[in-house]
Amino acid sequence: MGSGRTLDFAIAAVDRALRSLFAPARTTRPVPAALASDPARPLSETDRRTSAALMRVNHAGELAAQALYHGQAFVARSATTRDMLLAAARSESDHLAWCEMRLRELAARQSLLNPLWYAGSFAIGAAAGLMGDRASLGFVAETERQVERHLDEHLDRLPPGDSRSRAILQAMRAEEIAHGAAAAAAGGVRPPAPVRGLMRRTARAMTGSAYWI
């Protein structure tokens, strides 16, 4: 890769990082709505705080997912893999906007550690990408498997009356599964067990911190 093209990629990566962290997230699609048969009910203060904390974690997770994809795309060896990663990142941008909107509705803030989540996740994504495109795609598939389990847990923990947040998480879950399946179908190689364990521990540290901070 020529130095000029490397510089272009670096500038684009910085631009994506600044937009992800400091610009209001924008969605290209409607926010998922609750079913008409499951109307929203007013939340108690306790339930509002619970929903807000869970959606703050999901917002931080979507920001981290964007950063992972951006880091992997930055070092991807083929244009096809790079385009797939950036398309997935754009989908995560919609998820980020949905979570951000729901946090505003719940009168709640984002995680104060978002810059740390982005920087750390970008570095992890770049490290995964340096192992080659097949390893990078396998990392995507494993990440999405773990995200699916995480969202299942949050759907169980959401207050029963919060149909608005539930609709968002259910839509996100379906798309995360699709991302993982696409990465596996494109030739992704599953990471070894120690790497998968490290991914789980890292995710737990992030979600545990973002719940409160």
- The CATH number that applies at residue 57 is 1.20.1260.10
36 vs 171 pLDDT, higher one: 171
- For residues 198 and 134, what is the distance between their CA atoms, to the nearest angstrom? 19
Which range marks the domain in which residue 173 is found? 49-212
- The pTM of the full predicted model, rounded to 2 decimals, is 0.84
148 part of a folded domain: yes
Note the pLDDT tens digit of each residue in 87-113: 888 888 889 999 999 999 999 999 999
- For residues 149 and 117, what is the distance between their CA atoms, to the nearest angstrom? 20
- For residues 15 and 19, what is the distance between their CA atoms, to the nearest angstrom? 6
Note the pLDDT tens digit of each residue in 181-212: 988 998 888 888 888 888 788 888 888 888 88
C-alpha distances in Å from residue 103, one per residue of 25, 28, 64, 118, 129: 12, 18, 17, 19, 32
Q: Count of domains in the chain?
A: 1
5 part of a folded domain: no
- Token pair for residue 15? 């631009």
35 part of a folded domain: no
Note the pLDDT tens digit of each residue in 20-50: 666 667 777 888 876 544 555 678 999 999 9
72 part of a folded domain: yes
* Residue 18: pLDDT band with limits 50, 70, 90: low
157 part of a folded domain: yes
